[in-house]
């Protein structure tokens, strides 16, 4: 039986407002990058909130934070919810945080319901704040959930470096996280269910006037890094005929990636060049090294593969034609995820009980759910955000929309955790 639950919308909003101020850029921009001083403050703040809410808090070796609402009895199974609190540079205050602080409010409301009715949970519920869903610091997204699912090995994680060339291991230990990263790995089916609440990051729900999106699949992300190298030289003294300028194949590759998505892809194929690094980056110096980083996604894996193959072939051909050494590195190429149909049905029943308007949809953005889906039944709840904007300071979801999302999440979790 689906239970309707009360949530405190003002408290969620004030939690979101408070967290948005723990940032390395001035409001309304939010920047919170893994293991910076602000990220560490935000972590301490969240752990305090979890403890206040009566959750049992633990952290793993990579800094994933777990707050558990305990079932009655030892060795009970568990379900989980959660998302991320890190924010890419100069972005907004709702991406990820709605799932963490909304999840926190959902657990508060479930706890209150249990206290009022004298009932208890058959399954514990974990609230998880995943480490570094965003790729900002180490170039790879979903660091915490990849290690949990075993998609990234501890050895691969040890080799990651940030933009200053510092190894993850060194930064991790400065942040006081120690111990074997192998311990982060969770067993398959460690959770009976995982449900993530998130803003849609697209315009569909708002355009259709719907309150909830029930996610049935998550698009497959991939990203690559291409480095072109040349001898460099003086911008005035080296004649055009004597140059081997690595910025030229890089510039052509950027256009090529865009064209490949257009020509080989469908509506769901997207390609972005979001990083271009030029060394030495001086206006009067021919570049010696140019790195471009590209993100290519699709819900259809075969179609994405065709785009990736063309980009890879073109990246090498452009370097070869210009006699410029080329290095290509795949940062990730993940498969899409299918959401669990039973959880999808439960979310649907919850929406129907509350009479929330809803529609099934795919997630074009990736989420920690992409990796949780590899180890346990997973689904996602989307709420509308204004104009579909995300990864920009203008990102906005109304308190009312968040309240609807949190009620849906809370009742879904209560149903999945089975009360006794």
**Interacting residues with Mn ion (CB under 5 A):** 95-96
Helix axes of 399-417 and 97-117: crossing angle, nearest 10 degrees: 60
- By beta-carbon proximity to ligand GLV, the closer residue of 291 and 365 is 365
Q: With H, G, I as helix, E, B as strand and everything else as coil, classify residue 199.
A: strand
Q: Which of 330, 336, 332, 275 is nearest to 303 (CA)?
A: 336
Q: What's the closest the beta carbon of residue 136 comes to ligand GLV, in angstroms?
A: 10
Burial of 120 (0-12, 13-18, 19+ CB in 10 A): middle
Q: What's the closest the beta carbon of residue 414 comes to ligand GLV, in angstroms?
A: 28
Q: Which of Mn ion, ligand GLV, none sits in contact with 384, Cβ below 5 to 8 A by type?
A: none
Q: What's the closest the beta carbon of residue 183 comes to ligand GLV, in angstroms?
A: 26
Q: Locate tokens 């570049």: which residue?
A: 287
- By beta-carbon proximity to ligand GLV, the closer residue of 228 and 366 is 366
Q: What's the closest the beta carbon of residue 10 comes to ligand GLV, in angstroms?
A: 28
Tokens at 381, concatenated = 């709840």
The yes or no reply on residue 134 touching ligand GLV (CB under 6 A) is: yes
Q: With H, G, I as helix, E, B as strand and everything else as coil, classify residue 1.
A: coil
Give the start-end residues of each E strand in 33-189.
56-59, 65-69, 78-84, 87-91, 124-130
For residues 77 to 116, the per-residue mask of contacts with ligand GLV, x marking binding by CB under 6 A and - elsewhere, is: ----------------------------------------
Torsion, Cα 342 270 31 227, to 10 degrees, reads 130
Q: Locate tokens 């699949």: which residue?
A: 217
- By beta-carbon proximity to ligand GLV, the closer residue of 99 and 141 is 141
CA distance 241 to 243: 6
Residue 114: φ, ψ to 5°: -65, -40
Q: What's the closest the beta carbon of residue 389 comes to Mn ion, in angstroms?
A: 12
Q: Which residue is nearest to Mn ion (CB)?
A: 96
Q: What's the closest the beta carbon of residue 82 comes to Mn ion, in angstroms?
A: 11
- By beta-carbon proximity to Mn ion, the closer residue of 67 and 135 is 135
Residue 82: φ, ψ to 5°: 150, 180
The yes or no reply on residue 365 touching ligand GLV (CB under 6 A) is: yes
Q: Which of ligand GLV, Mn ion, none sits in contact with 366, Cβ below 5 to 8 A by type?
A: ligand GLV
User: If you ran DSSP here, which 8-state letter would residue 25 be given?
Assistant: S
- By beta-carbon proximity to ligand GLV, the closer residue of 232 and 265 is 265
The yes or no reply on residue 366 touching ligand GLV (CB under 6 A) is: yes
Residues in contact with ligand GLV by CB under 6 A are 134, 141, 365-366
């Amino acid at each position: 039986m689906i239970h309707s639950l009360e949530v405190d919308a003002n408290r969620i909003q004030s939690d979101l407002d408070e967290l948005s101020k723990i940032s390395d850029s001035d409001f309304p921009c939010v920047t919170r990058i893994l293991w910076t001083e602000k990220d560490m403050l935000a972590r301490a703040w969240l752990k305090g909130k979890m403890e206040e809410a009566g959750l049992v808090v633990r952290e793993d070796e990579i800094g994933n934070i777990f707050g558990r609402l305990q079932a009655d009895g030892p060795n009970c199974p568990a379900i989980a919810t959660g998302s991320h609190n890190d924010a890419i540079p100069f972005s907004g205050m709702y991406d990820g945080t709605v799932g963490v602080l909304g999840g926190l409010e959902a657990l508060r409301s479930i706890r209150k319901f249990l206290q009022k009715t004298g009932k208890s949970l058959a399954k514990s519920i974990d609230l998880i704040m995943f480490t570094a869903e965003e790729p900002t610091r180490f170039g790879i997204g979903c660091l915490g959930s990849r290690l949990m699912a075993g998609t990234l090995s501890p050895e691969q994680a040890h080799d990651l470096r940030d933009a200053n060339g510092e190894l993850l291991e060194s930064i991790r230990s400065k942040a006081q996280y120690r111990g074997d990263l192998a311990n982060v790995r969770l067993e398959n089916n460690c959770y009976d269910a995982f449900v993530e609440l998130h803003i849609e990051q697209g315009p569909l729900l708002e355009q259709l006037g719907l309150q909830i999106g029930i996610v049935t699949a998550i698009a497959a992300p991939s990203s690559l890094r291409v480095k072109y190298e040349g001898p460099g030289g003086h911008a005035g003294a080296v004649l055009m005929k004597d140059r081997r300028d690595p910025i030229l194949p890089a510039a052509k590759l950027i256009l090529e990636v865009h064209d490949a998505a257009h020509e080989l892809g469908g509506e769901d194929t997207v390609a972005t060049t979001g990083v271009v690094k030029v060394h030495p980056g001086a206006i009067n110096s021919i570049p010696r090294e140019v790195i471009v980083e590209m993100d290519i996604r699709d819900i259809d894996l075969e179609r994405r593969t065709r785009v990736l193959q063309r980009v890879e072939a073109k990246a090498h051909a452009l370097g070869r034609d210009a006699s410029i050494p080329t290095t290509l590195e795949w940062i990730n190429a993940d498969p899409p995820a299918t959401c669990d149909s039973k959880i999808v049905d439960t979310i649907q029943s919850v929406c129907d009980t509350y009479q929330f308007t809803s529609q099934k949809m795919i997630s074009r953005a990736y989420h920690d759910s992409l990796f949780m889906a590899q180890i346990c039944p997973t689904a996602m709840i989307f709420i509308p955000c204004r104009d579909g904007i995300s990864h920009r300071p203008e990102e906005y979801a109304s308190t009312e929309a968040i309240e609807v999302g949190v009620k849906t999440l809370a009742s879904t979790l209560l149903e999945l955790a089975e009360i006794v």
